[in-house]
């Protein structure tokens, strides 16, 4: 955003729009899984497939053009996608017979959780004035707050109880802040300046995260589902310990061809993320025979399916389908 010359208003508009998009997609995907398929007004497969088609129509990055007709066409695609989401909202039913409801945010979904963590991280990043020492202080303070909230204290005021209920978002924010901290370490004076010092500092940060993860195990153990601080810290530590090897190999030595098969997911991650559920919405979960659902055959099927999704993502990207929130 800064490279494009946007001011604070443009920056926060971008952040809020991106957060809203992630939350909307996350809530729709959660409700797709919770649907009462017998009571829903259209078949589940049609509903789910329409959801992902609407997402592509809305969030595709259409090419810049001076042609007025093409601009109107692209705007029409986005409007059609938005209308489709509204229609799907009113066609949706979940709950047991006699207690049917429409869509509700029972939880935010993976994309929604990413959206909230992204928003909070941007608030903390800007509050720290993009300074590494200040952001490290924010990280430590946030971790301390999480431990207080997860420590089982009783008698918290209403706002404290509410904040305890939102502590999962704070845990996810730790992971995003860890990535921002590593980015600041790497970007200081240029990616190729003093690479040994950058590798050392990222490894040191990873070790500190790992130690913190070990020490915070009493606060819920290590659980992704429970969003425990130990899980977040160990996850971030793992990335910090692995990344320097990738940095040395790809950036410093220029050896990148080994990761070409992953490039489509890196360039177009949202499309790669929604293609599998789009496939199952159309083909159904019974598309593959039961023998391919477990054991070695299941692992091979998962590998082949993943490679196929990467190839389709690459092909669609070349055809101009590039999702961007």
Mean local confidence (pLDDT), 251-266: 90
- Can you give the pLDDT at residue 325? 86
Backbone angles phi, psi at 156, to 5 degrees: -70, 145
For residue 8, the model assigns a pLDDT of: 84
Q: What is the mean pLDDT of the chain?
A: 93
| Residue 270, pLDDT above cutoff 90 | yes
* Among candidate residues 79, 94, 125, 76, the one with its CA nearest the CA of residue 32: 94
Q: What is the pLDDT of residues 121-142, one digit of tens each?
A: 999 999 999 899 999 999 999 9
- The pTM assigned to this predicted structure is 0.91
Task: State the pLDDT at residue 311.
Answer: 95
Work out the number of other CB atoms within 10 angstroms of the CB of residue 145: 13
The continuous run of DSSP H or E covering 261 comes out as none
Q: How many CA atoms lie within 13 A of 115 on its CB side?
A: 21
Token pair in block for residue 21: 């998009």
CB-based contact 243:182 (threshold 8 Å): yes
Residue 192 pLDDT class (50, 70, 90 cuts): confident
**Under DSSP, is residue 317 helix (H, G, I), strand (E, B) or coil?**
helix
Does residue 150 have a pLDDT over 80? yes
In this predicted structure, the answer to whether residue 159 has a pLDDT above a threshold of 90 is: no
Per-residue pLDDT tens over the stretch 35-69: 999 999 999 999 999 999 999 999 999 999 888 99
State how far the alpha carbon of 218 is from the alpha carbons of 164, 223, 252, in Å.
Answer: 17, 12, 40
* pLDDT value of position 171: 97
- At 218-234, the pLDDT tens digits run 999 999 999 999 999 99
């Amino acid at each position: 955003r800064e490279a494009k010359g946007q001011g604070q208003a443009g920056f926060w508009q971008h952040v809020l729009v991106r957060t809203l998009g992630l939350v909307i997609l996350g809530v729709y995907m959660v409700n797709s899984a919770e649907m009462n398929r017998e009571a829903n007004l259209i078949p589940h497969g049609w509903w789910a497939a329409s959801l992902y088609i609407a997402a592509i129509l809305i969030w595709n990055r259409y090419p810049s053009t001076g042609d007025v007709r093409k601009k109107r066409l692209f705007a029409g695609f986005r409007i059609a996608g938005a209308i489709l989401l509204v229609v799907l909202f009113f066609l949706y039913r979940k709950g047991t017979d006699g207690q049917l409801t429409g869509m509700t945010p029972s939880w935010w979904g993976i994309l929604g959780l990413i959206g909230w963590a992204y928003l909070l991280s941007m608030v903390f990043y800007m509050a720290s004035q993009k300074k590494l020492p200040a952001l490290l202080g924010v990280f430590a303070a946030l971790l301390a707050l999480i431990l207080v909230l997860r420590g089982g204290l009783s008698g918290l005021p209403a706002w404290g109880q509410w904040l305890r209920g939102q502590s999962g978002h704070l845990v996810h924010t730790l992971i995003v802040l860890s990535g921002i901290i590593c980015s600041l370490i790497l970007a200081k004076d240029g990616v190729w300046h003093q690479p040994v010092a950058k590798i050392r500092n990222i490894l040191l940060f990873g070790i500190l995260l790992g130690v913190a993860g070990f020490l915070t195990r009493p606060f819920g153990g290590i659980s992704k589902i429970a969003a425990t601080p130990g899980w977040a810290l160990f996850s971030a530590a793992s990335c910090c310990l692995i990344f320097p090897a990738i940095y040395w190999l790809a950036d410093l030595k220029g050896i990148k061809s080994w990761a070409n098969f992953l490039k489509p997911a890196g360039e177009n991650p949202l499309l790669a993320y929604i293609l599998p559920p789009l496939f199952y919405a159309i083909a159904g979960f019974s598309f593959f025979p039961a023998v391919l659902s477990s054991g070695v055959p299941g692992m091979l099927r998962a590998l082949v399916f993943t490679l196929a999704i990467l190839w389709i993502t690459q092909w669609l990207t070349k055809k101009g389908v590039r999702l961007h929130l």
